[in-house]
């Protein structure tokens, strides 16, 4: 019998697809972080406080926390498929980026469309901030489900092959987006004709990401045709809403979800404040603080694919999650309680941020059947977004309360200690996950790579 090879059976082809689809998430991460080095400029031009900035960061997570859009997006993904779901949510992500950039623009500030309306309510907030909040909301509405789509694409093309390495490369490219944003955003703002060009540049990357996804859909459709030709007698086991109930009763899934929310709540909010933290604690200027903060993502960009290769070959996923969570806490404690120059701690933090995701996301594919992988990732991202909504707001309020002495310098000690505590909670649930894996026999510590 003649064996029909599909596109996913060709290593060059599937890794090319990986690079294409990973760019979508890389552009997502670039836009998410591009405004972090511009915090001082936002405060100076739009009369906002650290609490307001924390609210802006948190607006990303509102649709996924309170409207459960990442959950619904995952269910839509499992029901409607990758192509239609991806086009919808990557499109929303790009639209949110454009609205955010418009809200910061001179055209809008000079009584542009919508300015009078946004100036008519909640007058404690500037019209620019309110339009940017709307943009951030729309961006978050699309961005989280787009990550779910990208994750399902990778499972589709790499399950039974180099799955952990593929996730590692995808995460590495995404972290590269963050690193580039932290490294260059302030420079773009300072060298351009107007500082908001840095935000417009980030928004344009989202439009290119939408084009990249449209190109991917051509190959996704081709793979579906090839798979049908090879196994025409097989009918795909479809997702049912009752499968969500099974997820919520699965201890391994519960533990890995709680680990996810605590770990990322100690990473992404810290990242949003990192340039300002370096500015206040170490006296760095706007450009230097962004470049130094980017170190942790340059490290992660390199380390995550390497750790993914390790997981594929040797396993030990739960151990890596334990070590990563513990290291995260130690680094945050170093930032909070010492004046140790930040370069080495940021390098160690970058390794920590590589350890957990490289082991965690491929593990979900072992815990959950492929038919429900979109819903599983969607549920995890929705719970994760509760932390990404709550902790930037808490961080901003802690910072505002630290400057009651009338000085402009902010004391980040309490804020960083909060992040360290989240790392400890994640460490506990990583231990629980390891114990549950021994009981359930899922095999999370076994190598990911197997014969397809």
pLDDT, average across residues 276-295: 86
Q: How does residue 231 score in pLDDT terms, banded at 50, 70 and 90?
A: low
Burial 334-369 (b: 16+ CB within 10 A, else e): bbbeeeeebeebbbbbbbbbbbbbbbbbbbbbbbbe
pLDDT digits (tens, 9 = 90+) for 333-360: 999 999 999 999 999 999 998 999 889 9
The model's pTM is 0.77
Residue with tokens 């989202």: 206
Q: How does residue 238 score in pLDDT terms, banded at 50, 70 and 90?
A: low
**Distance between CA atoms of residues 344 and 347, nearest Å:** 5
Q: How does residue 70 score in pLDDT terms, banded at 50, 70 and 90?
A: confident
pLDDT digits (tens, 9 = 90+) for 186-213: 889 988 888 989 999 999 999 999 999 9
| Sign for the pseudo-dihedral over CA of 114, 269, 181, 69 | negative
Q: How does residue 108 score in pLDDT terms, banded at 50, 70 and 90?
A: very high
pLDDT digits (tens, 9 = 90+) for 299-334: 988 998 899 899 888 889 999 999 999 999 999 999
> What is the pLDDT, as a whole number, of residue 194?
87
Among 24, 132, 29, 137, residue whose Cα is nearest residue 87: 24
Residue 233 has pLDDT above 50, yes or no: no
pLDDT, average across residues 126-144: 92
Q: What percent of the chain has pLDDT over 70?
A: 93
Looking at per-residue pLDDT, the higher value among 162 and 432 belongs to 432
Among 385, 115, 429, 94, residue whose Cα is nearest residue 264: 385
Residue 234 has pLDDT above 50, yes or no: no
Q: Using CB atoms within 10 A of its CB, is residue 408 exposed (0-12), middle (13-18) or buried (19+)?
A: exposed
pLDDT digits (tens, 9 = 90+) for 252-273: 999 999 999 999 999 888 988 8
Which runs of consecutive H residues, i.e. helices, occur in 4-126? 11-34, 39-46, 50-59, 62-65, 69-80, 82-104, 106-109, 115-118
Q: What percent of the chain has pLDDT over 90?
A: 41
| Topology of domain 21-225+239-440, CATH | Growth Hormone; Chain: A; (1.20.1250)
CB 246 within 8 A of CB 423: no
> What is the pLDDT, as a whole number, of residue 100?
95
pLDDT digits (tens, 9 = 90+) for 355-411: 998 899 889 888 887 777 777 888 888 888 888 888 988 988 888 887 655 556 788
pLDDT digits (tens, 9 = 90+) for 166-193: 888 998 899 889 889 988 888 899 888 8
């Amino acid at each position: 019998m003649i064996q029909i090879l599909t596109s996913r059976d060709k290593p060059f082809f599937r890794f090319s697809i990986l690079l294409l689809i990973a760019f979508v998430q890389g552009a997502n991460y670039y836009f998410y972080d591009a405004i972090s080095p511009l915090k001082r400029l936002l405060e100076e031009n739009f009369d906002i406080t650290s609490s307001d900035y924390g609210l802006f960061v948190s607006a990303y997570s509102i649709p996924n926390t309170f409207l459960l859009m990442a959950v619904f997006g995952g269910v839509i993904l499992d029901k409607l498929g990758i192509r239609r779901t991806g086009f919808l949510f990557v499109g929303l992500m790009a639209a949110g980026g454009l609205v955010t950039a418009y809200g910061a623009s001179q055209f809008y500030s000079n009584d542009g469309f919508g300015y009078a309306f946004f100036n008519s309510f909640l007058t404690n907030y500037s019209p620019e901030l309110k339009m940017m909040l709307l943009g951030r909301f729309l961006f978050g509405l699309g961005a989280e489900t787009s990550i779910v789509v990208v994750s399902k694409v990778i499972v589709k093309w790499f399950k039974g092959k180099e799955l952990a390495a593929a996730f590692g490369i995808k995460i590495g490219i995404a972290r590269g987006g963050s690193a580039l944003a932290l490294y260059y955003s302030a420079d773009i703002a300072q060298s351009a004709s107007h500082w908001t060009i840095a935000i417009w540049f980030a928004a344009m990357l989202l439009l290119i990401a939408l084009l990249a996804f449209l190109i991917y859909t051509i190959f996704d459709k081709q793979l579906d045709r090839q798979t049908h030709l090879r196994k025409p007698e097989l009918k795909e086991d479809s997702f049912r809403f009752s499968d969500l109930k099974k997820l919520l009763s699965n201890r391994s899934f519960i533990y890995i979800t709680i680990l996810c929310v605590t770990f990322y709540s100690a990473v992404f909010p810290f990242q949003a404040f990192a340039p300002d933290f370096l500015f206040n604690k170490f006296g760095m200027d706007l450009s230097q603080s962004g470049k130094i903060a980017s170190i942790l993502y340059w490290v992660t960009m390199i380390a995550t694919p390497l750790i993914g290769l390790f997981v594929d070959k040797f396993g030990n996923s739960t151990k890596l999650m334990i070590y990563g969570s513990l290291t995260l806490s130690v680094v945050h404690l170093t930032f909070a309680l010492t004046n140790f120059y930040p370069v080495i701690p940021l390098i160690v933090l970058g390794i920590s941020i590589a350890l957990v995701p490289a082991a965690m996301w491929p593990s979900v594919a072992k815990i959950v059947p492929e038919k429900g992988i979109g819903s599983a990732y969607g549920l995890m991202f929705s719970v994760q977004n509760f932390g990404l909504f709550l902790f930037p707001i808490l961080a901003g309020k802690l910072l505002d309360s630290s400057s009651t002495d009338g000085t402009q310098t902010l004391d980040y000690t309490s804020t960083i200690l909060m992040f360290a505590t989240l790392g400890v909670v994640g460490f506990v649930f990583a231990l629980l996950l390891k114990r549950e894996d021994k009981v359930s026999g899922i095999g999370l510590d076994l190598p990911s790579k197997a014969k397809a």
